[in-house]
Structure 1
Amino acid sequence: MSGGVDSSVSAALLKAQGYEVIGAMMRFWPDNKKDDCFETCCSPDAAYEARRVADQVGVPFYLLDYREEFQEKIIDPFIAGYAAGETPNPCVNCNTRVKFDSLLKKARMLGCEFVATGHYVIRQGQALLRGDRNKDQTYFLWGTPKEAIPHLLFPVGHLEKPQVRQLAEAFGLPTAKKPESQNICFVQGDLKEFLAGHLTARPGPLVDLETGRVIGEHAGAQFYTVGQKKGLGLWQTHLERYVVRVSVPTNEVFVGPRAACEWGGLEAREVNWLLEPEELPEEVEVQVRYRTKPVPAQIEALSSGRMRVRLKEPQFAVTPGQSVVVYSGDRLLGGGFIAQPLWNGHEQTLIESL
């Protein structure tokens, strides 16, 4: 229970369906931080709201200490990803390594049959399917261990958000009108300020791919992401430029026109499949960002948990550290972390001409 409306309604629905429900919230915020250091979904205030909901529903509530594990498995890799020039998504790691691994193991050890969450996901047997298209969260669950799926429940997965809020009102839950949290839970305020507190900023050259010339100065390569347009300080040149590549070893940021950010494929690492590899269809659909439209693609399995993806339609800002998620229709098949984008004819032509 996160203290939000989705997990609150999930608890109420399960209780109404006759389940024996135990409310639990994972404590992530450290003692040496002020109370507002975490966003609404993980804050001390959220724990208070979750306890109020548990009381209203009539179920016990426990606050579980996951501070050290969250630091080790989520925050440290997040910072390390930016230090390496990637743009990580911590929600994927949180689901994969904490909620549906560590928490599920603890629940099973305590005799619980399921872990239920407020994700907008539908489980049918061993398959995970898209929920409400406006709120679908399968994109963040590609790393779920196959053996965990039979022990997961998603009570609001078949509903749309307005329906969930209506149910919260009907159940009399105090979270019915609570706004959603859109930010990274452990980043309070500006992401760049958060990273600056953990990474050393080294200004360096902003290089134009079309000319090979230095056209500006960046504040530190690790603070930039592929596809970024704002914050480059190029407004005086009247150039419409986007970040195409980030090189932390040389401390260079390469920029170019939008076409240079269109990629025909990618290579991914740490790939996880929710079905046997031989069951994969020849053609699938993939998403390279949460809010992008899925596009047809072909998958080639590589060694060491890697795969190569060839896209039928070029995609903008295929970014190392983000997730590539594989679907067949509404069914989630798996995914991986983007290691590098591939097949950008525009950039290759520019590089060869320099």
Structure 2
Amino acid sequence: MSKGRVLVAMSGGVDSSVSAALLKEQGYEVVGAMMRFWPDDKKDDCFETCCSPDAAYEARRVADIVGVPFYLLDYREEFQQKIIEPFIAGYQAGETPNPCVNCNTRVKFDSLLKKARMLGCDYVATGHYVIREGNALLRGDPRKDQTYFLWGTPKEAIPHMLFPVGHMEKPQVRALAERFGLPTAKKPESQNICFVQGDLKDFLADRLTARPGPLVDLETGQVIGEHHGAQFYTVGQKKGLGLFKTHLERYVVRVNTATNEVIVGPREACLWGGLEAREVNLLVGPGELPEALEVQVRYRTKPVPGTVELLEGGRMRVRLSEPQFAVTPGQSMVLYQGNRLLGGGFIARPLHNQLESRAGAGLAVG
């Protein structure tokens, strides 16, 4: 007897391929699907390996080997509107957006889940390294954990999500792919933004109008250089400032596209003790948030203890137990209790930087 019908989001990579094979072996009725994002007027290599036409061919081959039906679902218009356009707009506003969060929130576990229901499926499965226990999402392998990218998941969607490889380590997944005879067993991982080929600056330069402007030193208020367009810079950036002749070690502290200024300062100016977040999504009720929780402000940083205050309009104020480097507008602030994902939000602005408060009075730092 079938454990249920499940739509597996297949990217053409090893993780989703093994997920499909495992679910079939475990007794689920599996339907494979790949979301088509690439447009008609682009070359085959316009998208990264995980979202390319070649990846669709690999996904279909896997589906044939596993013995499940396969659909190529057209999400081109939706991906453009919900992922690519907000990504470009974020940089235009001086933020550093993370499109993977939006893709998981607005496409995979929203639109795709609706499509799954139309196809008579009870679940959507992906190859994320995440563990689901009941209505809770937990960290998977610490080296591959992807809960950071799932904070925006609608709470009501969690019971309908499956992560077959979430409790595994990558070598185990590749070994299973070999056992199942899947052609993706040795396929390299995709590390880049799927719709950006080559250099990110080139991608943005083709879509944004940028003007040179001043690099302003936070401590003196003086112009110490020129940038090539404020939209191309991100908080914490050290390379590419063109300040080697000044012998100053400077990092980007703020990006102000309204005034076309990039504010730079010493490394300690990029350490913040708090932040304000927008579009907050909680996977527990507001009254269920524990007093002792951890906050993670970048994917590869360790979470630190913090306190939170819910504000009106889906916003949240966060105080961190120790200052964090490069708290960047547009990136994600993610809340945990131990290994459990509690929710998160997009960083609207960093708070509590003593050096900036002392040195930046009167500066238009946004």
TM-score range relative to shorter protein: over 0.9
Contact 1:283 1:299 in 2 (8 A): no
Letter in 2 for 1:104: L
- SS of 1:9 mapped into structure 2: helix
- SS of 2:144 mapped into structure 1: coil
Measure, in 1, the Cα distance between the counterparts of 2:304 and 2:123. 34
> Does 1:293 find its partner at 2:302?
yes
Count of residues paired in the alignment:
354
2:252 aligned residue: 243
Letter in 1 for 2:291: E
> How far has the Cα of 1:272 moved from its partner?
0.2
TM norm structure 2: 0.96
> Does 1:335 find its partner at 2:347?
no
RMSD: 0.8
- SS of 2:111 mapped into structure 1: helix
Give the 3 Å change call, closer, same or farther, for CA 353–142 of structure 1 in structure 2.
Answer: closer
1:279 aligned residue: 288
Measure, in 2, the Cα distance between the counterparts of 1:246 and 1:117. 36
1:253 aligned residue: 262
Measure, in 1, the Cα distance between the counterparts of 2:329 and 2:199. 21
Measure, in 2, the Cα distance between the counterparts of 1:51 and 1:181. 19
Which structure 1 segments of 5+ residues have no match? none
Measure, in 1, the Cα distance between the counterparts of 2:328 and 2:204. 18
1:207 aligned residue: 216
The 5-angstrom pairing of residues 67-106 of structure 1 reads: 67-106=76-115
2:191 aligned residue: 182
Give the 3 Å change call, closer, same or farther, for CA 247–353 of structure 1 in structure 2.
Answer: closer
- In the TM superposition, what whole-angstrom CA distance separates every residue of 1:22-47 from its partner, at most 9, and x where no partner exists? 10000000001111000000000000
Contact 1:246 1:253 in 2 (8 A): yes
Pick one of 25, 33, 58 that aligns with 1:24.
Answer: 33
Measure, in 2, the Cα distance between the counterparts of 1:353 and 1:94. 39
> How far has the Cα of 1:149 moved from its partner?
0.4
Measure, in 2, the Cα distance between the counterparts of 1:110 and 1:24. 11
Identity of aligned pairs, percent?
84
Letter in 1 for 2:97: P
Measure, in 2, the Cα distance between the counterparts of 1:159 and 1:117. 14
1:145 aligned residue: 154
2:117 aligned residue: 108
> How far has the Cα of 1:210 moved from its partner?
1.4
Which structure 2 segments of 5+ residues have no match? 1-9
1:64 aligned residue: 73
> Does 1:9 find its partner at 2:13?
no
> How far has the Cα of 1:352 moved from its partner?
3.6
- In the TM superposition, what whole-angstrom CA distance separates every residue of 1:211-255 from its partner, at most 9, and x where no partner exists? 111111000001100000010001111111000000000000000
Give the 3 Å change call, closer, same or farther, for CA 112–336 of structure 1 in structure 2.
Answer: same
> How far has the Cα of 1:346 moved from its partner?
0.8
Measure, in 1, the Cα distance between the counterparts of 2:137 and 2:221. 47
Measure, in 1, the Cα distance between the counterparts of 2:57 and 2:248. 50
Pick one of 218, 226, 233 that aligns with 1:224.
Answer: 233
Letter in 2 for 1:153: L
- SS of 2:51 mapped into structure 1: coil
Letter in 1 for 2:267: R
TM norm structure 1: 0.99
Q: Which runs of 4+ in 1 moved over 2 A?
A: none
- In the TM superposition, what whole-angstrom CA distance separates every residue of 1:175-211 from its partner, at most 9, and x where no partner exists? 0000000000000000000000110010000011111
